[in-house]
Amino acid sequence: MARALLITDVQNDFTEGGALAVDGGAALAERITAFLRRHADEYDVVVASRDWHDATGDNGGHFAGPDGPDFRTTWPAHCVAGTPGAEYHPALDLSFVDVHVRKGQGEPAYSAFEGTTDAGADLVDVFFDREVHAVDIVGIATDHCVRASALDGVHAGLDVFVYEDLVVGIDQTSSEAALEEVRDEGGHTGRSDMDEGRQRPGGAVL
């Protein structure tokens, strides 16, 4: 039985100055790095995902056309493969990351579970191979890619925990709704800074 940390889409385009900037994204990258320095050794595997879209076409309708984005299902062009916007935010310390996942090549892909590793493996297979039963999730954006990743994790049978202080969302109302949805589906949410020690479901203290 193993535990994983999933860092969702902490990329330049989702932080201040990026094409689809989320307020607080840069500060979040720093907080996640601080968390990793204290807690990375508690995880058997640390995974980071990136949105990684094609430069040509609209990526399955994910990039807005002439009418502009609705910021629900259509978005400004973002995280185009190989561009600076698609890179991880520089404040995220990648030395702790064991597995990199990319998603969204030519299609909308909110969940990291839709992505593949550099070796072409699905994330769920990475977790299966490493006997991961629990995954803690942090990153951007609470109301989109964190939400979708958490729900996919729950539906894959994983014990999912989203750290509310280590995520940022586009919209506060939809972010709160997303966390509620994760809880309704059987996941858990809470703060990372409750230690010593962090209360986990079932009363276990890390």
What residues are annotated to the active site?
9, 103, 145
Nearest position to Zn ion, beta carbon: 51
Q: How far is the CB of 38 from Zn ion (least distance, A)?
A: 30
| Torsions phi, psi for 164 (to 5 deg) | -65, -25
Measured from the CB atom, the residue of 104 and 153 that comes closer to Zn ion is 104
Measured from the CB atom, the residue of 93 and 107 that comes closer to Zn ion is 107
Q: How far is the CB of 203 from Zn ion (least distance, A)?
A: 38
Nearest one of 31, 47, 75 to 153, comparing CA atoms: 47
Q: Which of 13, 51, 136, 143 binds Zn ion (CB under 5 A)?
A: 51
Using CA atoms of 62, 172, 187, 126 in order, give the dihedral in degrees to the nearest 10.
Answer: 40
Residue 9 as a binder of Zn ion (CB under 5 A): the answer is no
Adjacent-strand bridge partners of 48: 7, 100
Choices 28-36, 46-54, 81-89, 180-188 (CB under 5 A): range interacting with Zn ion: 46-54
Nearest one of 118, 115, 113 to 151, comparing CA atoms: 113
Choices 31-39, 103-111, 168-176, 194-202 (CB under 5 A): range interacting with Zn ion: 103-111
Which distant-in-sequence residues (6+ apart) come within 8 Å of 121 by Cβ? Answer: none
Instruction: By CB under 5 A, name the binding residues for Zn ion.
Output: 51, 104
